[in-house]
Amino acid sequence: MTAETLPPNWDLSQLYVFGSPELERDMKALDEAAAGFPRWRERLADPGLSPEEFAGLLDELARLQESLEKVMGYAELAFSEDTGDQRITSFLGVIEERAAGFANATLFFEIWWKDLPEDRAQGYLRTAAGHRYFLKRLRDYRPFTLSEPEEKVVNLKDVTGVQALVTLYDSLTGRYRFCTGFLPGGSRGEVGREELSVYYRSPDPAVRRGAYRELFRVYSAEGPVLGQIFQSLARSWRLEHVALRGYRSPQSVRNLRNDLSDEAVDSLLRVAGEEAPRVFGRYFARKAALLKLPRLSRYDLYAPVAEEAGGSTAFAEAAAEVDAAFRGFSPRMADLAARVAAERRLSARVLPRKRSGAFCASVLPGETPWVLMSYKGGLQDLFTLAHELGHAVHSQLAGGEGVFQFQAALPLAETASTFAEMLLAQRLLGRETDPLRRSSLLCHVLDDAYATVGRQAFFALFEVEAHAMIERGATPDELSEAYMANLARQFGDTMDIPPEFRWEWAAIPHFFHAPFYVYAYTFGQLLVFSLWRLFEREGAPFEGRLLKILAKGGGASAADILASAGVGPLDDGFWRGGFRVIGEFVDAL
């Protein structure tokens, strides 16, 4: 590619330049503001604190939080762009320490608010415009809150404990290089994980097999070390949240953060555990027939059934395709998505030490988010672009909710992104007349549905099992055996599972970054399939319904937001309805 045709890279100088006087100035100002906040402690002890004073406290706290988010956002984005830069890694550690200090400086307010009698709390809530749901959610944590000195110790120890381990995992895996000797001609070059992942979708079975074997050659060699990091993170999670705070289970922590009951999440995973093997099992059998195989190997899961026309797609063409898909549904959605690249907040180039995967980072409410991906020109990258720009639309629509409430809770965080992928799929399928290429597109939709629904649900089920096993003293090798059993339950007799996949769990960053996060993907995708059914029935008027959901961000519970938009109750029947839509895609093959 020439410089003119390279995918764009973001311009982090819009936040800061590393080592600049502006960065040092804002860090100093943040420290001074945090040091001044404890003056409110005495006023909170006065029963005569007025609602107006309380509102002023909240406004000051929000300004502090925004200052912290800007500095922290810069550090995390810079690290994601180059996980091997020692200066940025050290700076991130410094900022995480500052964040812990900020949390401790404002902790007294959270504890006071949680302990406040209900009648006084309700009085203040009536004047806390823009912060009500945030304040309500704080009180939900009252049974699990430690004393102020204990909470301060936890915050400080996390900097050199949990956060340091996660950074270590990212630094280690970000440095991994993979040999391309499996390619035709036996080239001995080296690539990063993002570049390696292209070959999982190669039309050549030997290349797919070689890419996966190379991935797990590296990860299995590091398995004991990565497993030790995971064990330590899981033990820390359990000891803090279950032993100290009194949560019912390790997953209950995440459920409360998502404002979902344990029963609702159990329902989701139970239905997914029953339906996913059946529905996707039918798909895998049909895909094997299209590939002229007796049955699939795990190497073949994402194999294309037809080579993509034209091979690699230039980034500009991909961006235009996504824009057209969005614009056909909602011009406002398209305009918000376009801001990301226009304002140079999109990092899409393949860089040697860039963090793997893709994300959308919303640093401040009301501002255009930052999107990271590694665009390599394939169909998967086209859908990844649509997905992450969907997140960016969601963030911008919810910007009016303020710093404490604009980030969507995990159960709804995937709504806009997965709906965006459906819009793109609809556009591509609507103009495809070649039967084989249409089957290829349908397979892509189903591959993505499996990756988001079935795969993530079974990841969640494994995670529950793994945390329980670690509590009993399980080794990394024993976790790998449990993971193989998990794969066997997913695929049954529809797929062969090569033994090296036993280390796949160690290559899943979410297990390390955010325990029990992954069921949100299953929730979000099944929700979107149900919303898609509504869109098919309603047509253009559905735009308003969806934008209403997105505009709430994290300003209410998922159940309340969906109910206000006329979406049915989140029960077993709702989840099974999502699987019926997936089944219809299978039938269309």
Of 391, 397, 349, 400, the closest CA to residue 370 belongs to 391
* pLDDT exceeds 60 at position 516: yes
Instruction: Give DSSP secondary structure letters for 233-281.
Output: HHHHHHIIIIIIT--SSHHHHHHHHTT--HHHHHHHHHHHHHHHHHHHH
Q: Where are the domains of the chain?
A: 12-159
Pairing between β-strand 190-191 and β-strand 346-347 as defined by DSSP bridges: unpaired
* pLDDT exceeds 50 at position 154: yes
Question: pLDDT per residue over 279-325, tens digit each?
Answer: 999 999 999 999 999 999 999 999 998 865 445 789 999 999 999 99
Helix pair 262-290, 476-491: axis angle to 10 deg: 70
Q: How far apart are CA 106 and CA 168, in angstroms?
A: 28
- Cβ atoms of 386 and 360 closer than 8 Å: no
Model's pTM, two decimal places? 0.84
Half-sphere exposure in the Cβ direction for 321 (13 Å, CA): 23
Residue 50 has phi, psi (to 5 degrees) of: -80, 155
Share of the chain above pLDDT 70, in %: 98
SS3 of 356-402: CCCEEECCCCCCCCEEECCCCCCHHHHHHHHHHHHHHHHHHHCHHHC
CATH of domain 12-159: 1.20.140.70
18-22, 549-553, 571-575, range with the lowest pLDDT: 571-575
First-last CA distance in the chain:
36
Mean pLDDT of the chain, nearest integer? 92
Q: How far apart are CA 360 and CA 382, in angstroms?
A: 15
CB atoms within 10 A of CB 364: 18
Q: How far apart are CA 589 and CA 442, in angstroms?
A: 7
Q: How far apart are CA 402 and CA 328, in angstroms?
A: 30
Share of the chain above pLDDT 90, in %: 76
Q: Exposed, middle or buried by CB within 10 Å (0-12, 13-18, 19+), for 15?
A: buried
Question: pLDDT per residue over 428-461, tens digit each?
Answer: 999 888 888 888 889 989 999 999 999 999 999 9
Question: pLDDT per residue over 64-104, tens digit each?
Answer: 999 999 999 999 999 999 998 999 999 999 999 889 889 99
Q: How far apart are CA 424 and CA 383, in angstroms?
A: 7
Tell me the one-letter amino acid at 245: R
* pLDDT exceeds 60 at position 4: no
Structure tokens at 326: 């969005």
CB under 8 Å to 45, separation ≥6 — which residues?
none
Instruction: Give DSSP secondary structure letters for 19-86.
Output: T-HHHHHHHHHHHHHHHHGGGHHHHHT-TT--HHHHHHHHHHHHHHHHHHHHHHHHHHHHHHH-TT-H
